[in-house]
């Protein structure tokens, strides 16, 4: 047989799928989704997770990761990623940024990225312990922009329902102020006239600017997500649509079920439906039904800094994200044909921005935010864990004296590289009432990355516990 036939792309792809199927059948494959909204720390988390595994037998501090504590981890290496259409997660670039003499935080990812690791370990139990010397777990880690995840609920909305949702968002005074240029432009659009693509593009650009301004002011529930991170759709007519929002109630009572074909309204509706059918739906079908485990990162501290409305907006956004995934215990057949997430970590990020005595409060704050959604997930048999982490610890804790009493303080470098020592304040165990923010504000600090010196292992808080929860049962 001609050997070139065996190298054909389709044959190689089939062989790869067969290997993955065999691996899933024997439970030696984990497909991990790392999700979170902008600023939650996804890039830092994945960089740290990869770093902890690669350095586990060298310098990494992982006392609560069983396979390391029991000296059963043989080694970890990066492997060729399975999906060749995804961006390669830039781990090496991130480490260069963090190991510079003047370290900087790695750049956030702007689209989907992926990394595959091979984890070789010694079995601790079972028949296979005696049949094979070592076993290997394949770990695929995929990073998805949280902004794109917020588009998934659009699949259950009509254009008219989306307008109602967007209009309700403008009950917030700050949102209404930021939306004014966009709404003013809509009032000048001749809706029933023949479609004007340039006019629609210009207003869509104003809508995108409105969403970007909302994000800068701490809001998280922003749709469509591709208006924030367009990816390959940058400049495409698929993004030249927007919700018809009017300040005049009489104008808003449009009959959207009977519109003139080819009119501006018709184009807006058709592009909204195109976006759902050709952008959102394929994205969901191709990616979101393949995950076994998930980490959801939540930046509770920034939400507190930004005020009550932004905090509530974040809580709503997380509820929307959780509704987009399939949760439930995974049998062998489910793993092969309809995988479902069976372990889920809720992680409050940036735990190094508060003193150790406040980290328990941070977990309670996170749990209060997720209370309703978590109940539904646990009812479906999913194991969940809530924790407070620092993917890359940028501060050190100590004590100081204030008015004759000892208090815990943090020391680190601010964004300008100056050493600062401070008590960042107390973390509430649940969301304070709206009137709290009128008399008091939260101001949790921002730190520059730590200087690692000769070390190549990233300092962290509780990354070993996260790894153990996610992988310990697969590495037994």
Determine the Cα–Cα distance for residues 394 and 426; give it in Å rounded to an integer.
Answer: 19
pLDDT higher than 80, residue 9: no
State the pLDDT at residue 196: 94
Question: What integer is the mean pLDDT of 170-196?
Answer: 92
Determine the Cα–Cα distance for residues 475 and 306; give it in Å rounded to an integer.
Answer: 41
- For residue 451, count other CB atoms closer than 10 A to its CB: 15
For residue 410, the surrounding DSSP H or E stretch is strand 405-413
Q: Are 96 and 47 in contact (CB under 8 A)?
A: no
| DSSP H helices in 262-307 | 264-274, 281-287, 300-306
CA 402 to chain centre: 39
| More confident position, 327 or 410 | 410
Domain boundaries, the chain: 23-149+287-394+453-475, 156-284
Q: Per residue in 75-95, pLDDT tens?
A: 999 999 888 888 899 999 999
Q: What is the DSSP letter of 234?
A: T
Q: Under 8 Å CB-to-CB from 412, ≥6 apart: which residues?
A: 352, 394, 395, 396, 419, 420, 445, 447, 448, 450
| More confident position, 296 or 319 | 296
Helix (H, G, I), strand (E, B) or coil at 123: coil
Phi and psi, residue 116, nearest 5°: -115, 130
Q: Where does the pLDDT of residue 411 fall: very low under 50, low under 70, confident under 90, or very high at 90 and above? A: very high
Q: Per residue in 19-33, pLDDT tens?
A: 555 455 455 899 999
CA angle 256, 155, 306 (to 5 degrees): 100
pLDDT higher than 80, residue 397: yes
Determine the Cα–Cα distance for residues 207 and 185; give it in Å rounded to an integer.
Answer: 10
State the pLDDT at residue 250: 43
CA distances from 120 to 2, 15, 68, 75, 81 (A): 35, 22, 12, 5, 17
Q: What is the pTM of this model?
A: 0.87
Q: What phi-psi label fits residue 326: left (phi over 0), alpha (psi between -120 and 50 degrees) or beta?
A: beta
Determine the Cα–Cα distance for residues 200 and 264; give it in Å rounded to an integer.
Answer: 8
Q: Per residue in 352-377, pLDDT tens?
A: 999 999 999 999 999 998 887 777 78
State the pLDDT at residue 1: 47
Determine the Cα–Cα distance for residues 431 and 182; give it in Å rounded to an integer.
Answer: 32
Cα-Cα end-to-end distance for the chain: 42
State the pLDDT at residue 21: 56
Q: Are 45 and 349 in contact (CB under 8 A)?
A: yes
**Any idea which of 68-72, 160-164, 287-291 has the lowest mean pLDDT?**
287-291
Q: Are 91 and 78 in contact (CB under 8 A)?
A: yes
Determine the Cα–Cα distance for residues 339 and 345; give it in Å rounded to an integer.
Answer: 17
Helix (H, G, I), strand (E, B) or coil at 132: coil
Q: Where does the pLDDT of residue 17 fall: very low under 50, low under 70, confident under 90, or very high at 90 and above? A: low
Q: Per residue in 118-128, pLDDT tens?
A: 999 999 865 45
Q: Per residue in 414-458, pLDDT tens?
A: 988 899 999 999 999 999 998 898 888 899 999 999 999 878 899
State the pLDDT at residue 338: 62
State the pLDDT at residue 347: 96
CA distances from 223 to 45, 145, 164, 242, 243 (A): 25, 13, 13, 10, 10
| More confident position, 132 or 322 | 322
Determine the Cα–Cα distance for residues 345 and 363; give it in Å rounded to an integer.
Answer: 12
pLDDT higher than 70, residue 346: yes
Question: What integer is the mean pLDDT of 102-130?
Answer: 83
State the pLDDT at residue 401: 78
Burial bucket for residue 438 (CB in 10 Å: 0-12, 13-18, 19+): exposed
Q: Which two tokens stand for residue 451?
A: 């200087």
Burial bucket for residue 310 (CB in 10 Å: 0-12, 13-18, 19+): buried
CATH number of 23-149+287-394+453-475: 3.40.50.300
**Any idea which of 6-10, 103-107, 442-446, 460-464 has the lowest mean pLDDT?**
6-10
| More confident position, 112 or 463 | 463
Q: Which two tokens stand for residue 471?
A: 């992988």
Phi and psi, residue 227, nearest 5°: -75, -25
Question: What integer is the mean pLDDT of 290-311?
Answer: 92
DSSP for 184-199, written as a single string:
HHHHTS-TTSBP-HHH
**Any idea which of 206-210, 260-264, 391-395 has the lowest mean pLDDT?**
260-264
Phi and psi, residue 181, nearest 5°: -60, -40
State the pLDDT at residue 18: 56
pLDDT higher than 60, residue 146: yes
Question: pLDDT over 90 for what percent of the chain?
Answer: 58
Determine the Cα–Cα distance for residues 92 and 97; give it in Å rounded to an integer.
Answer: 9
- For residue 407, count other CB atoms closer than 10 A to its CB: 12
Q: What is the mean pLDDT of the chain?
A: 87
Q: Per residue in 313-345, pLDDT tens?
A: 998 888 887 776 667 776 655 555 566 888 999
Q: Which two tokens stand for residue 188?
A: 């000048």
The Cβ-side half-sphere exposure at 179, using a 13 Å CA radius, reads 22
Determine the Cα–Cα distance for residues 368 and 315; give it in Å rounded to an integer.
Answer: 10
Q: Which two tokens stand for residue 359?
A: 């980290």
Q: Per residue in 221-236, pLDDT tens?
A: 999 999 998 888 888 9
pLDDT higher than 90, residue 65: yes
């Amino acid at each position: 047989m001609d050997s070139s036939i065996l190298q054909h792309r389709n044959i190689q792809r089939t062989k790869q799928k067969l290997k993955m199927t065999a691996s899933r059948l024997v439970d030696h494959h984990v497909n991990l989704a790392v999700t979170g909204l902008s600023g939650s720390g996804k890039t830092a988390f994945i960089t740290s997770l990869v770093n902890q595994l690669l350095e586990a037998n060298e310098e990494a501090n992982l006392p609560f990761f069983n396979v390391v504590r029991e000296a059963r981890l043989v080694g970890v290496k990066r492997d060729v990623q399975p999906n060749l259409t995804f961006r390669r997660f830039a781990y090496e670039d991130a480490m260069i940024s963090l190991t510079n003499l003047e370290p900087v935080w790695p750049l956030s990812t702007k689209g989907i990225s992926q990394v595959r690791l091979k984890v070789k370990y010694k079995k601790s139990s079972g028949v296979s312990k005696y049949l094979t010397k070592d076993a290997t777990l394949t770990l695929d880690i995929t990073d998805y922009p949280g902004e794109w995840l917020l588009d998934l609920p659009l699949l259950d909305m009509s254009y008219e329902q989306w307008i109602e949702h967007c209009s309700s968002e403008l009950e917030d005074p700050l949102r209404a102020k930021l939306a004014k240029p966009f709404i003013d432009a809509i009032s000048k659009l001749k809706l029933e006239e023949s479609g004007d693509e340039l006019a629609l593009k210009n207003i869509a650009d104003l809508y995108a600017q409105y969403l970007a301004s909302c994000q800068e002011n701490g809001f998280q529930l922003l749709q469509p997500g591709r208006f924030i991170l367009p990816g390959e759709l940058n400049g495409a007519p698929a993004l030249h649509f927007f919700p018809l929002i009017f300040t005049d109630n009489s104008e808003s009572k449009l009959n959207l079920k009977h519109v003139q074909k080819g009119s501006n309204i018709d184009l807006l509706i058709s592009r909204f439906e195109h976006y759902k059918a050709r952008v959102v739906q394929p994205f969901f079908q191709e990616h979101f039904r393949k995950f076994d485990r998930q980490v959801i990162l939540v930046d509770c501290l920034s939400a507190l800094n930004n005020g009550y409305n932004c905090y509530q907006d974040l809580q709503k956004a997380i509820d929307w994200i959780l509704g987009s995934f399939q949760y439930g215990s995974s049998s062998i057949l489910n793993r092969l044909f309809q995988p479902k997430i069976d372990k889920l970590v809720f992680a409050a990020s940036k735990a190094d921005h508060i003193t150790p005595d406040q980290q328990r409060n941070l977990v309670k704050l996170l749990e209060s935010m997720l209370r309703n959604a978590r109940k539904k997930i646990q009812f479906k048999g999913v194991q969940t864990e809530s924790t407070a982490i620092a993917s890359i610890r940028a501060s050190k804790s100590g004590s100081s004296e204030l008015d004759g009493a000892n208090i815990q303080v943090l020391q680190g470098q601010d964004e300008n590289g100056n050493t600062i020592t401070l008590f960042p304040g107390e973390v509430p165990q649940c969301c304070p009432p709206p009137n709290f923010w009128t008399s008091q504000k939260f101001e949790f600090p921002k730190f520059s990355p730590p200087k690692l010196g000769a070390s190549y292992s990233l300092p962290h808080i509780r990354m070993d516990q996260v790894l153990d929860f996610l992988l310990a049962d697969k590495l037994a």
